[in-house]
Structure 1
Amino acid sequence: MNPAQPHTLPPSYFDAVYQANEDPWHFETSPYEHEKYAATVAALPRPRYAQAFEVGCSLGVLTEQLASRCGYLLAIDVAQAPLEKSRRRCAYLPQVEFEQRRLPEEFPASARFDLVVLSEVGYYWSKPDLALVADQLLEALEPGGHLLLVHWTPPVHDYPLTGDEVHDFFLARAHAGGPLRHMHGFRRETYRLDLLERS
């Protein structure tokens, strides 16, 4: 953990980022992001998921692609500005619902999912908050359900964790004989992907 930034990044951090730039990470225009999104969707082993959950949907670019594989998709973000754009982008997709929520404090109560997508969001939490969110996700994930992790791996000075630390945290749980098992994964130059299944 970076000692200069040990705490989970607050919603105000993201409000400021989106106020400065409507697409701060170039999700809509970057060939790198488009390749990563295609790889993310291709990594899903099932053609269809009944109840899916995307944490940190931002502008909804990945959400739109995930939706074709989902009967229902709850997509959340802490910032209002990107959610408004997401809603417009996915207005033609009745199976997608967007909500402004902050985890772990506002995890959807009594929710059950057979797919959870954690893409480019885990490193914004402190290690204690990541552990809380992991417990919440595992509780909500149906037996046989999938948890898909995709994260940028180079360190970013603002972020409490690196992408590798996020993935290694979940993989350690899988290797410890808990309710997760690692199905497959790969590493690219600047991101990694891992798919886990709840036993």
Structure 2
Amino acid sequence: MPDSSLPLAYFDDVYRANDDPWSFETSPYERDKYQATMAALPRNKYSNVFEIGCSIGVLSELLANRCNHLLAVDASELPLGAARKRLAAYPHVTVRQLSIPNEFPDDQFDLILLSEVGYYLVLDDLKCARQQMLDHLTDKGNLLLVHWTPFVPDYPLTGDQVHEQFLEIAGEGKPLTHLLGQRTDKYRLDLFQKQ
């Protein structure tokens, strides 16, 4: 496993090779996972949503219909042209190049979505990002994690390791409440609420 978080160049190389490298637009796995992601959200409408790792904006478009404002970010600028085009009809959506934990928006969110991103970070960077998410989540705000669980040699962490870091700070007297946990053969989903 790598001993540092995956660099920006890694993602730039992936997107230079393929405009939709994970088949977000066409994969039945992604479609089903997106349906489960949206179904897990306990509110019909959110005020201010932060999506970390929006890529070409397929899930962002679904989120756009459930909120008053969405900040969708990706570490690489390369997929964001496609995201901006897809989301052009949604004036309440902002698409930005931003890389956590080195950069984090100075705003409060009632939903933060970390989907298929956490395992790109080494543990120290994930813990830093976890604290940033807590600091920028409103009281009773939701934090939704969705990650691929099979081992990938390129990635510093597994999806399970990412989710365990958040489950560690959930429970009585801790900052998060665990509201929902789901697991399939390929991914897991965990929903939290800030105490």
TM-score by length of 1: 0.96
Among 82, 85, 94, the alignment partner of 2:82 is 85
Q: Where do 5+ consecutive residues of structure 2 fail to align?
A: none
Q: Which amino acid aligns with 2:89?
A: Y
Decide which moves more: 66-75 or 173-182: 173-182
Task: Please state whether the residue corresponding to 1:18 is helix, strand or coil.
Answer: helix
Aligned to 2:12: 15
Identity %: 54
Equivalent residue pairs, number: 195
What value does the CA root-mean-square deviation take over the aligned residues?
0.8
Task: Please state whether the residue corresponding to 1:97 is helix, strand or coil.
Answer: strand
How far did residue 176 of structure 1 move? 7.0
Residues 118-149 of structure 1 show CA distances to partners (whole Å, capped at 9, x for unaligned) of 00000000100000000000000000000000
CA distance in 2, matches of 1:150, 1:105: 21
How far did residue 41 of structure 1 move? 0.5
Task: Please state whether the residue corresponding to 2:192 is helix, strand or coil.
Answer: strand
Q: Which amino acid aligns with 1:11?
A: L
Aligned to 1:66: 63
Aligned to 1:107: 104
How far did residue 6 of structure 1 move? 1.5
TM-score by length of 2: 0.98
Q: Which consecutive aligned stretches of 4+ in structure 1 deviate over 6 angstroms post-superposition?
A: none
Among 35, 38, 43, the alignment partner of 1:38 is 35
Q: Which amino acid aligns with 1:147?
A: L
Q: Where do 5+ consecutive residues of structure 1 fail to align?
A: none
Residues 44-67 of structure 1 show CA distances to partners (whole Å, capped at 9, x for unaligned) of 000000000000000100000011
Among 166, 172, 176, the alignment partner of 1:170 is 166
How far did residue 177 of structure 1 move? 3.3
Mark the CA change 1:72 to 1:28 in structure 2 (over 3 Å): closer, same or farther. same
Q: Which amino acid aligns with 1:8?
A: S
CA distance in 2, matches of 1:40, 1:94: 23
